[in-house]
Structure formats: C-alpha cells, structure tokens
Chain A
Amino acid sequence: MINFINPSKIFKWIEKLLNFINSIFFIILIVGLTFALIISPPDYLQGDSVRIMYVHVPSAWISLASFTCIALLSILTFLFKVKNLNLISKSIAPIGLLFTILAIVTGSLWGKPTWGTWWAWDARLTSMIVLLLFYIFFILSQKMIKNEDRANKISGLIAIIGIINIPIIKYSVDWWSTLHQPKSINLLSGSSSIHSSMLLPLSLMLLVLLLYCALIFLMKYKTEIIRIKRKNIKRL
C-alpha cells in the first residue's frame, strides 16, 4: 500500500496512462457528443432542453465524488500521517472546483427554460453553493498558507468538516420540499427513472468527463511530484 503510492514508483506509469487516455479521448468525446446532441430523443415534457442533463448531471456527480475522495484522503492522512496522500487530494481539488462551478452554471441554464427561473434558494441549490465555498476554502488554504505542513493540516480539517455537507446535498431533495426534482437514479436498488435511450448518452458523457478528470489529475499529480522532488533535490 505504502509502496503503491510512492511517487517515484508510479511516476513512469503516469506518463504511459496520460498517453493512453490522450489517444482514445477524442474518439469517445465525439461519440458522446453525437449521442447527447443528435441521436438521443427529446424528453416528452422538457423537449430538447433535457440535453443539458448530459453535462449537468455528470458534473454534479464528479463534484460530489471529488470532495468525498478529498475528505477520505484527509481522514487517512490524519489517522496515519501518510504524507503523499496530500499530493493526491491537492491534485483532485481543482477538478472538483471546476465541476462544481459547471454543475451550478449548467443547472442555471437548465432551470431558466424549464422552471422559469435562473436561480432559487432551495435546499439542493443552496447546499451546492456551500460545497463551492468548501472547495474555495480548501484551495485558498493550500495557496495562502506558506508553511506546507500547516497548510495541509488546515485544508485537511476543512475537508473533514465539509464531508458533512455531502449527504446533505445528496438527500436535500428527499428531506425538504425543493424546486429541484428528486433523484432519478437509485444506486442502492439499481433502478432509474431515466429511459435507456437517455441513459446511454448520459453514461457516455460521464465517461468522457471522467477521462478528462483523469487527464487533469495525472498532470497535476505529476506537477506536484516534480515540485516535491525539486524542493528536496539536494537530498535525493
């Protein structure tokens, strides 16, 4: 386990993985976009505006998943004091921030033609804003605090506090009356109220965005490893 996350060991795999993803990325992107924008049918109620779902829903999932990863890594760091985990959570944070913003912006663009408003302070939307704030605090604490050990401690604390917000976002549509519709996909029972002809473009777009996340993560992680190695160049 410890050997697995040893930066020197995985450094050469990062390069190979980056090349591999780069080679298949554009094919999957074009297939995904074709399905999302052309082949998939319009919705019976929302018409073509349902296509916004294909970017909005994966973005929202990724933003939640990234924060969960960061928080779990922070907990592991706190428990076992493994230093290299910080590099991973630091590399995930910008992805999470990007997709939180995208989920909010595309959600707003979806809300205007369907609900009739850009924004509503309902529980789901407000808790997403709180998630955005947690990401901003996390990244700012990494950037502003010069002492790296202290920066890691404070950002880890922010992530651990922020994890309480994740179930609130997830269940906000069940606990309170919201303008946002309830969840369509139930992972526990494996049921979905999205028709299969729309589920396919949704999963394709999710795959595209996940591959994109992997690209950004690997590049960012590589940067972090080089930064650490450079700092300790004399001690290598």
Chain B
Amino acid sequence: MIQNLIFMNGYGFFVWLSFAITLLACVIVYYKTYRTLQKYEKAFAKELKNLSAQERKKVLEKSKVAVQVFASYNKSI
C-alpha cells in the first residue's frame, strides 16, 4: 500500500514532483508576500512615529488604516 503510494506504478516520480513543485512554489510566494507586507507595515508605522505628536494625532484621526497599522506595530514590539 505504502509502496504503491510512493511508486504509483512508475508514475510516482512525475506525480510527486509536480505536487512538490506546486507546494514549494506556493510556500515561497507566500513567504515573500508576507515579508513584503511586514516590511511596508513597519516602514509605515516608523514614519508615523517620526511625525510630530500633533501631526500624528491628525493622521490617526483621519485614517483608519493608519490606526490599525500603528496599533499592530506597537503590539508587536
């Protein structure tokens, strides 16, 4: 049964390789996308931090996106 699953009557190499390639490519793309997202979130939060207190207040009041990114950034530190 296990042997049959691995060799698949001679087709095992092609079947497993195509599933492996798909999985690997998906994992790599997921990781890269995730890292880029983190990088942008960080940069955005940093930029907010560097603003003067008054300016930051104004930005956070106006933009929900800024509030969320800023909140999740402060949580992660």
A and B touch in the complex (CB under 8 A): yes
On A, residues with C-beta under 8 Å from B are 7-9, 11-12, 15, 33, 36-38, 42, 47-49, 51-52, 55-56, 59, 94, 98, 101-102, 105-106, 109-110, 112-113, 212, 215-216, 219-220, 222-223, 225-227, 229-230, 233-234, 236
On B, residues with C-beta under 8 Å from A are 5, 8-12, 14-15, 17-19, 21-22, 25-26, 29-30, 33-34, 36-37, 40-41, 43-44, 47-48, 51, 55, 58-59, 62-66, 68-69
Contact (A230, B43) CB under 8 Å given A8-B64, A37-B5, A236-B63:
yes
CB distance from B26 to the nearest CB of A (A): 6
Most B CB atoms within 10 A — which of A7, A215, A216, A233?
Answer: A233
Q: Is the CB of A223 within 8 A of B40?
A: yes
Quick one: closest B residue to A222, CB to CB?
B37
Q: Which A residues are CB-close (under 8 A) to B26?
A: 98, 212
Q: Which A residues are CB-close (under 8 A) to B19?
A: 33, 36-37, 51, 55
Offer 5 A-B interface pairs, CB within 8 angstroms, sorted by A: A102-B25, A219-B37, A230-B43, A233-B66, A236-B58
State the majority secondary structure of interface residues on B. helix
Complex Cα gap A47–B12 (Å): 11
Complex Cα gap A56–B22 (Å): 9
Q: Is the CB of B48 within 8 A of A233?
A: yes
Contact (A52, B14) CB under 8 Å given A212-B26, A226-B40:
yes
Q: Which B residues are CB-close (under 8 A) to A49?
A: 8, 11, 14-15
Complex Cα gap A183–B19 (Å): 22
Complex Cα gap A236–B44 (Å): 13
Q: Is the CB of B14 within 8 A of A98?
A: no
CB distance from B14 to the nearest CB of A (A): 5
Q: Is the CB of A106 within 8 A of B22?
A: yes
Q: Which A residues are CB-close (under 8 A) to B69?
A: 226, 229
